[in-house]
Amino acid sequence: MAIDTKPSKLPGVTFHYETAIMDDTNGQGPKTRMTEEKPTLFQRRMLLTVYQQNWENARHIKNERLSFTNIYCIVAAGMLSLFHTVEGKRPLEISMLLFLVLFSLIGLLTSLRLKAELEECLHKIDQIVSQTGVERVSALSEAKGVPTKYPKFRWIFPWFYSIGTIGFLILLWQRVVDR
Q: Residue 97 class from Cβ within 10 Å (0-12 exposed, 13-18 middle, 19+ buried)?
A: buried
pTM of model > 0.75? no
- Name the strand (E) or helix (H) holding 21: none
- Give the pLDDT score at 154: 77
Instruction: Name beta bridge partners: 18.
Output: 33
What pLDDT is recorded for position 145? Answer: 52
- Residue 157's closest CA among 120, 110, 123, 125? 110
Question: Chunked in runs of 10, what are the mean pLDDT values of the chain (179 residues)?
Answer: 48 40 47 58 86 94 94 95 86 92 96 94 87 70 55 83 95 87
DSSP three-state, residue 88: coil
For residue 20, the model assigns a pLDDT of 40
* Confidence at residue 24, expressed as pLDDT on a 0 to 100 scale: 45
Q: Give the whole-angstrom CA distance, residue 168 versus residue 175.
A: 10
User: What pLDDT was estimated at residue 141?
Assistant: 56
* Dihedral sign for Cα atoms in the order 103, 106, 108, 110: negative
pLDDT at 48: 86
Which string of DSSP letters, residue by residue, matches 134-163? -GGG-TTPPPTT----S--GGGHHHHHHHH
Cβ atoms of 72 and 103 within 8 Å: the answer is yes
- In 3D space, the residue among 10, 11, 28 whose CA is nearest the CA of residue 19 turns out to be 28
Q: Minimal CA–CA distance to 35: which of 8, 11, 16, 10?
A: 16
